């Protein structure tokens, strides 16, 4: 029997009442428990959730199943951000965590993310073992799913320790001294009461929007993208704030809006914070980015004489370098980053707080600071688009990815990079990167022009290469 439960590095996600059923949740948790039992004792697992529908029910059922399987659950009673759970895994020295979250997916989804004892998302070698256990149980082997235990469980409040750690990593005194005002949008998600409480406790004026639980997330995905930040922008204008900080449903992704209402691309946020951390912390041990993330980071690494690591897409690769203390910061263009001394997991809250510190310390808007960086190392204009393919188009494009093109719409290709997908570096320093989705007939095309004039022509050239 083949089950629908497949774990990626962001866990297993599915639509509620379709594939994300109580029966499948029991199978998934039982598979995780069986895996944990193969690892060194003590077998203790944190169980948490975001604010999605039925989260409490799934947590309670998971705790009962873990207990029945001989694994001690530690239940997090309130919704908690993914990075806070990751930090608790490390400080409490558990065997990992089960987190019921579908991150920024639409409200009809839920999911399970399993993290290992380092607080990082489980790697494929782990999730494959879990899937094998699930398959065995679904087929009636391995004793099947145990009968749930009905007793009480140990609990943990992960918030105080995590806020204390954020306060150690961010210069809150500098933000308070500057007098700037801030807006925080948790998108009805697990970040509620984290960044905002920390700022208020340190005398920093902050107002929140969407600061209540709504399992429908306002009727759309809880994603901090430009088109969904209208309420936060209105609040910023109303109070004369310097910045909007936003996080997604489980607070591992970020969104930043500058004081003039301009949404700041995640690519630029990562580059700005890299430059700022080198300047203010003196961290020169390295920087890591995915192959699809802006080459502005490459230029800054060269400018600061800092080692650069470029990885395939997937935060697991970045988290590993953070864990080994090889880099000051790591990030992906999809709004995920973390920094030295922090969790090897995406943290949208640390991103927003550090941008606030940067604005407060330098006394310039985010846009002004980006222009300063462009003046130092040149300008970079990244764009990402998805193209849906027919089966025939996908087959043809899969073959096309194996070739080494010499040009792209008349532009000379000077380097072909295959770290992940196909990346073509052009003679003017612009580039295009193509990655096929593993779950749907879609190709993601990332482009980056070196001046604004070329943005549209490069985007069109990238599209023609896909569809021709």
CATH number of the domain that 405 lies in? 3.30.310.50
- 193 and 153 in one domain? no
Please tell me the number of Cα atoms within 13 Å of 83 on its side-chain side: 31
- CATH code assigned at 104: 3.40.120.10
Tokens 């890591």, residue located: 288
- 146 and 70 in one domain? yes
Asked, for residue 4, whether it belongs to a domain, the answer is no
- 326 and 408 in one domain? no
- 238 and 113 in one domain? no
CA angle, corner 243, sides to 237 and 245, nearest 5?
115
Q: Residue 212: phi, psi to the nearest 5?
A: -150, 160
- 370 and 414 in one domain? no
Q: Residue 391: phi, psi to the nearest 5?
A: -55, -40
Q: Examine the fold and report which residue of 353, 377, 401 is the final residue of a domain before the chain moves on.
A: 377
Asked, for residue 2, whether it belongs to a domain, the answer is no
- 233 and 89 in one domain? no
Structural domain count of the chain: 3
Asked, for residue 165, whether it belongs to a domain, the answer is no
Tokens 């499948």, residue located: 24
- 185 and 146 in one domain? no
- 417 and 443 in one domain? yes
Distance of CA 288 to the CA centre of its chain: 15
Coil/strand/helix, residue 147: coil
Element (H, E) at 137: helix 124-138
Asked, for residue 7, whether it belongs to a domain, the answer is no
Asked, for residue 186, whether it belongs to a domain, the answer is yes
Alpha carbon distance 466, 468 (integer Å): 6
Please say whether the beta carbons of 316 and 273 come within 8 A.
no
Q: Examine the fold and report which residue of 106, 125, 157 is the final residue of a domain before the chain moves on.
A: 157
Q: Examine the fold and report which residue of 377, 398, 432 is the final residue of a domain before the chain moves on.
A: 377
Residue of 81, 82, 66, 73 lying closest to 34 (CA atoms): 66
Give, for all 468 residues of the chain, the pLDDT tens digit: 346 899 876 789 999 999 999 999 999 999 999 999 999 999 999 999 999 999 999 999 999 999 999 999 999 999 999 999 999 999 999 999 999 999 999 999 999 999 999 999 998 899 999 999 999 988 776 556 777 666 789 999 999 999 999 999 999 999 999 999 999 999 999 999 999 999 999 999 999 999 999 999 999 999 999 999 999 999 999 999 999 999 999 999 999 999 999 999 999 999 999 999 999 999 999 999 999 999 999 999 999 999 999 999 989 899 999 999 999 999 999 999 999 999 999 999 999 999 999 999 999 999 999 999 999 999 999 999 999 999 899 999 999 999 899 999 788 999 999 999 999 999 999 999 999 987 678 999 999 999 999 999 999 999 999 988
Q: DSSP letters along 2-23, please?
A: --S---BTTBEEEEBTTTB-HH
The DSSP secondary-structure symbol of 121 reads: B
Residue of 300, 293, 281 lying closest to 340 (CA atoms): 281
- 325 and 228 in one domain? yes
373-401 burial: b if 16+ Cβ within 10 Å, else e: beeebeebbbbbeebebeeeebeebeeee
Element (H, E) at 247: strand 243-247
Q: Residue 28: phi, psi to the nearest 5?
A: -65, -45
Please say whether the beta carbons of 63 and 75 come within 8 A.
yes
Q: What is the 3-state secondary structure (H, E, C) of 182-193?
A: EEEECCCCCCCC
Cα dist from 442 to 104, 276, 394, whole Å: 19, 36, 8
What is the reported pTM? 0.94
Coil/strand/helix, residue 320: helix
- 138 and 187 in one domain? no
Distance of CA 27 to the CA centre of its chain: 26
The DSSP secondary-structure symbol of 467 reads: H
Please say whether the beta carbons of 47 and 96 come within 8 A.
no
Asked, for residue 113, whether it belongs to a domain, the answer is yes
- 419 and 373 in one domain? no
Structural domain boundaries enclosing 117: 12-157
- 233 and 144 in one domain? no
Residue of 277, 229, 278 lying closest to 257 (CA atoms): 229
């Amino acid at each position: 029997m083949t089950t629908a439960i497949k774990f990626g590095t962001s866990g297993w996600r599915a639509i509620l009442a379709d594939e994300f059923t109580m029966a499948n949740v029991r199978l998934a948790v039982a598979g995780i428990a069986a895996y944990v039992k193969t690892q060194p004792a003590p077998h203790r697992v944190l169980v948490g959730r975001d604010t999605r529908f039925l989260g409490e029910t799934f947590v309670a059922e998971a705790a009962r199943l873990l207990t029945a399987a001989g694994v001690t659950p530690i239940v997090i009673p309130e919704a908690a951000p993914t990075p806070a759970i990751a930090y608790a895994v490390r400080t409490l020295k558990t065997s990992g965590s089960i987190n019921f979250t579908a991150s920024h997916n639409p409200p009809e989804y839920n999911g399970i993310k399993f993290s290992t004892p380092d607080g990082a998302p489980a790697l494929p070698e782990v999730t494959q073992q879990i899937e094998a256990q699930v398959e065995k149980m679904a087929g009636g082997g391995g004793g099947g799913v145990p009968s749930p235990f009905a007793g009480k469980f140990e609990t943990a409040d992960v918030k105080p320790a995590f806020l204390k750690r954020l306060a150690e990593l961010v210069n809150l005194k500098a933000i308070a001294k500057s007098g700037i005002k801030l807006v925080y949008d948790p998108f009805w998600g697990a970040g509620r009461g984290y960044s905002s409480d920390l700022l208020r406790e340190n005398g920093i004026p902050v107002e929140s929007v969407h600061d209540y639980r709504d399992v429908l997330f306002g009727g759309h995905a809880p994603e901090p993208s430009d088109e969904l930040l209208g309420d936060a922008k209105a609040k910023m204008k109303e109070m004369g704030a310097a910045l909007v900080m936003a996080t997604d449903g489980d607070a591992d992704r970020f969104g930043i809006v500058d004081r003039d209402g301009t949404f700041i691309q995640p690519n630029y946020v990562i580059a700005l914070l890299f430059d700022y951390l080198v300047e203010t912390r003196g961290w020169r041990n390295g920087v890591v980015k995915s192959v699809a993330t802006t080459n502005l980071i490459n230029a800054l690494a060269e400018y600061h004489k800092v080692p650069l690591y470029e990885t395939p897409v997937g935060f697991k690769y970045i988290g590993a370098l953070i864990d080994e203390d090889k880099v000051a910061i790591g990030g992906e263009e999809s709004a995920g980053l973390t920094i030295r001394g922090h969790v090897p997991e995406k943290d949208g809250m640390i991103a927003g707080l550090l941008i606030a510190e940067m604005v407060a310390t330098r006394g310039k808007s985010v846009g002004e600071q980006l222009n300063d960086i462009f003046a130092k190392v040149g300008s970079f204009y990244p764009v990402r688009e998805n193209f849906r393919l027919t089966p025939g188009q996908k087959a043809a494009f899969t073959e096309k990815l194996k070739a080494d093109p010499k040009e792209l719409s008349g532009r000379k290709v000077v380097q072909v990079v295959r770290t992940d997908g196909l990346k073509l570096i052009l003679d003017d320093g612009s580039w295009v990167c193509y990655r096929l989705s593993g779950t749907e007939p879609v190709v993601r095309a990332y482009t980056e022009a070196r001046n604004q004039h070329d943005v549209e022509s490069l985007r069109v050239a990238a599209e023609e290469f896909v569809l021709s």
